[in-house]
């Protein structure tokens, strides 16, 4: 909606320009790698207890009453869910860490929601589907391989630490994909599109790494 966009248009532009500059400068890069099985904290990360808010400068007015999710593309059973439809699905609880490309990490986040594996079981991806593109209500998008989206700890999250996810953090529904830097976990998700070929998202075309593995420190394109 128009009243969600900064009136002077400068906040969004400044934020985007700053993050593009981080990519050009390689901000936060250590040149190290880590072993996921051994090292809980990826290279170049620092632990925080809070959950910082990061977005494009636009916070869309999405509520449980008006939220919808379309999931389509290379699937046998495309869906268009309302909030009630989502709540009618099996609800699960997950615990995972957050690793943000801006160098902070937060351990042990408790999430409630619908697993992506369940969503995919409903959609029934066609054999040629290999990638997922998530679209958000603020114009954001991000891409990831289907097998990462289908990881056992990935979900459409509706609650964090026992409370509904706040609007600032992408509520009422956001994607959570713990295996990748958190920009791959789209806030305010409204569409999930399954594709045969990879299609880069918002930050991936602005200097950020396509794969985003925190333990390989894949923050930016080389």
Q: d(Cα 26, Cα 222) in Å, to the nearest integer? A: 9
The overall average pLDDT reported for the chain is 91
Q: What is the pLDDT of residues 134-170, one digit of tens each?
A: 999 999 999 999 999 999 999 999 999 999 999 999 9
pTM > 0.85: yes or no:
yes
CB neighbours (10 Å) of residue 200? 14
Query: How high is the pLDDT of residue 17?
Result: 76
Query: How high is the pLDDT of residue 23?
Result: 74
Q: d(Cα 185, Cα 175) in Å, to the nearest integer? A: 5
Q: d(Cα 207, Cα 222) in Å, to the nearest integer? A: 9
Query: How high is the pLDDT of residue 29?
Result: 76
Domain assignments of the chain as residue spans, ordered by start: 2-216
User: Which CATH topology does 2-216 take?
Assistant: Sulfite Oxidase; Chain A, domain 2 (3.90.420)
Q: What is the pLDDT of residues 91-113, one digit of tens each?
A: 999 999 999 999 999 999 999 99
Range in 12-16, 109-113, 128-132 with the lowest mean pLDDT: 12-16
96: phi then psi, degrees, rounded to nearest 5: -155, 165
User: Residue 9: which region, alpha, beta or left (left: phi > 0; alpha: psi -120 to 50)?
Assistant: left
């Amino acid at each position: 909606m128009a009243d969600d966009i900064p009136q002077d248009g400068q906040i969004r532009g400044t934020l985007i320009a700053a993050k593009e500059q981080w990519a050009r400068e390689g901000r936060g890069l250590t040149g190290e790698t880590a072993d996921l099985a051994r090292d809980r904290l990826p290279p170049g990360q620092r632990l925080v207890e809070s959950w910082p808010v990061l977005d494009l400068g636009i916070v869309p007015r999405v509520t449980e009453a008006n939220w919808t999710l379309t999931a389509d593309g290379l699937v046998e059973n495309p869906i268009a869910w309302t909030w009630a439809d989502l709540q009618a699905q099996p609800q699960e609880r997950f615990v995972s860490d957050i690793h943000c490309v801006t160098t902070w990490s937060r351990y042990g986040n408790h999430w409630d929601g619908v697993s992506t594996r369940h969503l995919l079981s409903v959609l029934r991806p066609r054999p040629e589907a290999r990638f997922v593109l998530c679209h958000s209500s603020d114009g954001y998008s991000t891409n990831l391989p289907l097998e990462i989206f289908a990881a056992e700890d990935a979900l459409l999250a509706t609650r964090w630490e026992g409370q509904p996810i706040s609007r600032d953090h992408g509520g009422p529904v956001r994607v959570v994909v713990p295996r990748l830097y958190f920009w791959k976990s789209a806030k305010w998700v409204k569409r999930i599109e399954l594709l045969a070929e990879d299609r880069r998202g918002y930050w991936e075309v602005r200097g950020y790494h396509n794969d985003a593995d925190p333990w390989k420190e894949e923050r930016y394109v080389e």
